[in-house]
Amino acid sequence: MRSRRQFIMQAAAIAASPFISTRVTRALAAAAKPKLGFALCGLGGLSTYQLAPALQKTANCRLAGIITGTPAKAVKWRAEYGIPEKNIYDYETMHRIADNSDIDVVYVVTPNALHLDNALVAAHAGKHVFCEKPMEISVERCRQMIDAVKAAGRVLGIGYRCRFEPHHLECMRIAREREFGAPKIIDAHFGSYMGPSVWRLKRALAGGGPLMDVGIYALQATRYLTGEEPTWISATTTQGDPARFSEVEESVVWDCKFPGGAVSHCGSSYNTAGIGYFRVIAERGWFALEPAFNYDGIRGVRSDGKPIDRPATDQFAVEMDDFARCIMDGKATRVPGEEGLRDVRLMMAIYESARSGRPIDLKA
Amino acid sequence: MRSRRQFIMQAAAIAASPFISTRVTRALAAAAKPKLGFALCGLGGLSTYQLAPALQKTANCRLAGIITGTPAKAVKWRAEYGIPEKNIYDYETMHRIADNSDIDVVYVVTPNALHLDNALVAAHAGKHVFCEKPMEISVERCRQMIDAVKAAGRVLGIGYRCRFEPHHLECMRIAREREFGAPKIIDAHFGSYMGPSVWRLKRALAGGGPLMDVGIYALQATRYLTGEEPTWISATTTQGDPARFSEVEESVVWDCKFPGGAVSHCGSSYNTAGIGYFRVIAERGWFALEPAFNYDGIRGVRSDGKPIDRPATDQFAVEMDDFARCIMDGKATRVPGEEGLRDVRLMMAIYESARSGRPIDLKA
């Protein structure tokens, strides 16, 4: 039996022919396996409590490996998920993943400012990269990630789970089909309480505060609900408790204008009870989700009293299955690196507006 | 028996004594009647469907007169409320109200830009003035109203009905007593659908669009919920449908910073379904009203599940009774002209920010 690596190299040689696209090549390569092997890179809370359990529910993926800097975690995960020793890496050995045909995708779940470095190693090792949001802490680092994965001929996706969540999809449909007429005002908010944190309150690792971590959901929502990119943004931040918020903002509020005539007013905080919602206020009514951004229990309301009841789903399982399916079928993912970059660019504009005290013209 | 006018003049003479305050004078004058006579100035929808019925429910007020430019309305109101002919005025004869001891208070319910002129006539006639919100269309005109009523030795109040509404009062208490810790983010919104209008879409009469008419409720709420004045404001507006919105904004969103560390994100529109709410997001929870600004049916929610159930009340009856009581007892109203001026100043800053594309530093 040919090894996966040999198969891929052969497929790559075929792809060199001008008559066969790289998409076909990818499809050929991925078709060799019924499930793609995922390696989780970074075993924090999200990997532990969400991604690993979700992988057990996927149709197209399997938890094949881990990359962790904490030996105790390696022992624990090996025991819990039966991960073979050869599929367990630390950040020193991660590059050797190139030789491991069990692993097709590296899912980067490390602190924000490490995403690029991890993705570069994965891409250079010939692996597809799925990266948690926020994609990185600067536009330039997002671009580097996109370029590196593209140069490796692999696929890059960003972990925007709400883009696969049935209530969110239904709201996108309501907005797109203008059930209540044109959206005029979108109100979106996602905040939480962040106690002392290893990295989330440190600018160098997080790139920012609640905006980068949770506010990004509200920002994303205003974009996928309008289906448009904002042309103008104004923001302000607070620092509040200086013990915790010496490096990143405590709270942030921002307004955007969209080319179709809608405006948004949004907020996020690290010093409030956890709360997340959006509401699209349109010409003839409104619709909303609350809680909107939780892992489960999402609830919708329409001003006309009709239900937005959709079956509960494991958002992480669905997003990973979709990413694997896109690779297998050679289709474009709905959450490419370019989508992650757009949000990072907007979040940088929000910080720039707050810092300068001036709105940012995004058409410029 | 002495006439009311004689009594007032005598009381005014007493007040000239350095030992007796004008408050005492007012109390002496008002104590002469069990109920104060209100004249409604402007018989549009609010007077017709809210204020006149509410006056029937008051303890301290009675519908004593009307001022209208529409003879047919005079006939109708005279029949419906048994208003004597001598208490019915038009805008030409309104100054003669000075000689009418039945009328103690003129409630100004005309288009925004006429408030000052009507209030000046009322004040010069020696009457107390209660004025609908927004107080006027410029800071300067608000100042003129305050000065004129003060010079006449009368009391000026602004129709901020929510300041008397039990759910709003309860939310002010929750905020003030820090039941959920310090407020960090306040989200407030009030919008409606405004079809063709005699005056609300005309800048010269309305002074602005949805912000002046309904957004003012959201702005007020952020102020009375924080108990603070904003120090920074940023806003943007849209024009949307150019047929309707050639003179005033279609929608507006704005953000404020408050000195205690809270920030607000707010919105208002004339081109959406009617919707009004606020939510105070604090350190350990949140509380909200929705609908918040309707005449009735106000509902509250707390994040801890405790109720915000308060008895339904006629907000207009309560605000008018309170104003009358303040006059009778010589006490300060919680809604003086200075309060109306503060909102107009902030709304002018919102428009200035939207026009200039720059935030406004309100500390300056």
**Closest to A153 (Cα-Cα) out of A286, A330, A352, A363:** A330
Averaged pLDDT score across all residues of chain A: 93
User: Residue B134, Cβ neighbours under 10 Å: how many?
Assistant: 25
* pLDDT at residue B364, rounded to an integer: 72
* pLDDT at residue A311, rounded to an integer: 94
Averaged pLDDT score across all residues of chain B: 93
Is pLDDT larger for residue A198 or for residue A117?
A117
Clarify whether residues A55 and A148 are in a common domain: yes
Give the one of B232, B251, B273 whose C-beta lies nearest to A236's C-beta. Answer: B232
Give the one of B252, B261, B283 whose C-beta lies nearest to A238's C-beta. Answer: B261
Q: pLDDT tens digit string along B71-83?
A: 999 999 999 999 9
Please say if the pLDDT value at position B11 is more than 50: no
**Cβ within 8 Å of residue A289, ≥6 positions away:** A167, A168, A171, A277, A278, A298, A299, A300, A301, A308
pTM of the model: 0.91
Query: Is-catalytic flag, B91?
Result: no
* pLDDT at residue A9, rounded to an integer: 41
Q: Write out residues 205-234 of B within 8 Å (CB-CB) of A.
A: 232, 234
Please say if the pLDDT value at position B221 is more than 90: yes
Please say if the pLDDT value at position A70 is more than 50: yes
Residue B13 maps to a domain: no
Residue A138 maps to a domain: yes
Residue B298 maps to a domain: yes
Clarify whether residues B219 and B139 are in a common domain: no
Beta-carbon separation of A263 and B236 below 8 A: yes
Instruction: State the best of B253, B280, B283 to mutate against chain A, taking most chain A CBs within 10 Å.
Output: B253
* pLDDT at residue B29, rounded to an integer: 54
**Cβ within 8 Å of residue B50, ≥6 positions away:** B295, B316
Is the minimum CB–CB distance between B271 and chain A shorter than 8 Å?
yes
**CA–CA min distance B266, chain A (Å):** 6
Is the minimum CB–CB distance between B48 and chain A shorter than 8 Å?
no
**Closest to B232 (Cα-Cα) out of B54, B81, B358:** B358
* pLDDT at residue A33, rounded to an integer: 73
CATH value at residue B296 = 3.30.360.10
**Closest to B179 (Cα-Cα) out of B300, B345, B71, B18:** B300
Tokens, residue B361: 């530093």
Clarify whether residues A78 and A99 are in a common domain: yes
* pLDDT at residue B33, rounded to an integer: 73
Chain A residues within an 8 Å CB radius of B263 = 236, 238, 251-253, 267
Residue A18 maps to a domain: no
Beta-carbon separation of A184 and B265 below 8 A: no
Please say if the pLDDT value at position A20 is more than 60: no
Q: pLDDT tens digit string along B292-349?
A: 999 999 999 999 999 999 999 999 999 999 999 999 999 999 999 999 999 999 999 9
- Element holding B220 (H helix, E strand): helix B216-226
Residue B21 maps to a domain: no
CA A347 to chain centre: 14
Clarify whether residues A89 and A130 are in a common domain: yes
- Element holding B345 (H helix, E strand): helix B337-356
Mean pLDDT of A188-213: 96
One-letter amino acid for residue B272 of the chain: T
Beta-carbon separation of A265 and B269 below 8 A: no
* pLDDT at residue B144, rounded to an integer: 98
Q: Does the ipTM exceed 0.95? A: no
Clarify whether residues A147 and A178 are in a common domain: no
Q: pLDDT tens digit string along A85-97?
A: 999 999 999 999 9
Mean pLDDT of A101-105: 98
Q: pLDDT tens digit string along A227-273?
A: 999 999 999 999 998 889 999 999 999 999 999 999 999 999 999 99
- Among A267-276, B9-18, B288-297, whose mean pLDDT is lowest? B9-18
Mean pLDDT of B229-252: 96
Mean pLDDT of B141-170: 98
**CA–CA min distance A329, chain B (Å):** 43
Q: pLDDT tens digit string along A316-346?
A: 999 999 999 999 999 999 999 999 999 999 9
Residue A21 maps to a domain: no
Mean pLDDT of B236-245: 94
Confidence of residue A364 (pLDDT cuts 50, 70, 90): confident
| % of chain B surpassing 70 pLDDT | 91
Clarify whether residues B117 and B174 are in a common domain: no
Burial class (CB in 10 A: 0-12, 13-18, 19+), A85: exposed
| Domain ranges, residue B102 | 33-160+318-333
Clarify whether residues B109 and B190 are in a common domain: no
Catalytic residue among A217, A224, A277, A351: A217
| Distance from C-alpha of A113 to C-alpha of A129, rounded to nearest angstrom | 16
Clarify whether residues A133 and A172 are in a common domain: no
Confidence of residue A3 (pLDDT cuts 50, 70, 90): very low
* pLDDT at residue A196, rounded to an integer: 87
- CA angle, A277 as apex, B225 and B277 as ends, to 5°? 35
Clarify whether residues B145 and B187 are in a common domain: no
Tokens, residue A68: 């962790």
Catalytic residue among B127, B133, B270, B351: B133
Clarify whether residues A181 and A98 are in a common domain: no
* pLDDT at residue A161, rounded to an integer: 98
Is the minimum CB–CB distance between A257 and chain B shorter than 8 Å?
yes
Is the minimum CB–CB distance between B192 and chain A shorter than 8 Å?
no
- In DSSP terms, A207 is beta-bridged to none
Catalytic residue among A89, A107, A127, A133: A133
Residue B4 maps to a domain: no
Residue B8 maps to a domain: no
Chain A residues within an 8 Å CB radius of B301 = none
* pLDDT at residue B299, rounded to an integer: 98
Is pLDDT larger for residue B309 or for residue A29?
B309
CATH value at residue B48 = 3.40.50.720
Please say if the pLDDT value at position B12 is more than 60: no
Clarify whether residues A301 and A189 are in a common domain: yes
Give the one of B232, B266, B273 whose C-beta lies nearest to A284's C-beta. Answer: B273
CB contacts < 8 A, A to B, total 146
Is the minimum CB–CB distance between B185 and chain A shorter than 8 Å?
yes
| Distance from C-alpha of B138 to C-alpha of B148, rounded to nearest angstrom | 16
Clarify whether residues A157 and A294 are in a common domain: no
Query: Is-catalytic flag, B331?
Result: no
Is pLDDT larger for residue B17 or for residue B61?
B61
Beta-carbon separation of A234 and B232 below 8 A: no
| Count of structural domains within chain B | 2
Please say if the pLDDT value at position B1 is more than 70: no
| % of chain A surpassing 90 pLDDT | 88
Chain A residues within an 8 Å CB radius of B238 = 184, 257, 261-263
* pLDDT at residue A217, rounded to an integer: 98
